[in-house]
Amino acid sequence: MKTLLLAAVTVLTAAAQIPPPILRIVRNPVFNNDHPYARASAAIEVLGIRGVTGTGETWLIEQHPTFVSIEELDKAMGKDGDPSNWLDPHAAALADEVLGPGRVFIAYYREGWGYHAEDAIRMLPRARFFNVTVYRMRPDSDNDMDSLMRARHQRLDSMNMNQPDLVYHVISGGSSGLYLVLAPLVSLRTMDERVSRAALEVESKQPAVSEFGREALMFRIEPALSYVSDDFAATDKGFWRGQ
């Protein structure tokens, strides 16, 4: 039952290529090779990523179709369903001014804010890095964030950049004005291309009135930390299932 109730997630990501409506993000987990999702035979995709910039955090990104699937996952995982049982107690000092002290986030997908989101979903099985931009806005700043994302789309179009991404709004575990832009990268060559075209980018010199802060983080995708289905891994079994 625990796998049947959660099986729709694989369809969302690997087959239908629809952005998962809900993410649960666990920051700085600690566990051995006995993966907690494997012990529960969880039927979700979980991407494990490790920071190569910033404080070098580790994130687990669970992909969920509904809030009920989070509940069912927690039931299936039993005591492992409480992330506090496998958080690094020494990582609290890594909290920063933009992300804040939250250790477990639930974020909701904002349709239309991402850049070619359908391409971003298709890229996930082939991605090796994540470029994550964190925006911290004043509460109730959706209109300002919408304007920022529209302006950002125009800048990327002007640069002719092939850098699709997904935008999520943190609705639990962080400030009400916390947004995450997740850009999967097949190779860091994308960053080289962006730097070479930087002269074409026209960035507003003034942040939005409601913007508190913004930071960019780069993460490496770690297969050993991830928990993905065979369908997801089929694109590159050597990477996802290799030693």
- List domains and CATH numbers for the chain: 4-240 (3.30.70.100)
Tell me, what's the pLDDT at 15? 42
Q: Which stretch of DSSP H or E encloses residue 230?
A: helix 230-233
How confident is the model at residue 138, as a pLDDT?
A: 86
Quote the radius of gyration of the chain (alpha carbons, Å).
18
For the ranges 97-111, 172-186, 225-239, the lowest mean pLDDT is seen at 97-111
Q: How many CA atoms lie within 13 A of 199 on its CB side?
A: 1
Q: Among 44-53, 146-155, 197-206, which is the least confidently predicted range? A: 197-206
Using alpha carbons, select from 108, 165, 92, 101 the residue that is nearest to residue 132. Answer: 165
Does pTM top 0.75 for this prediction? yes
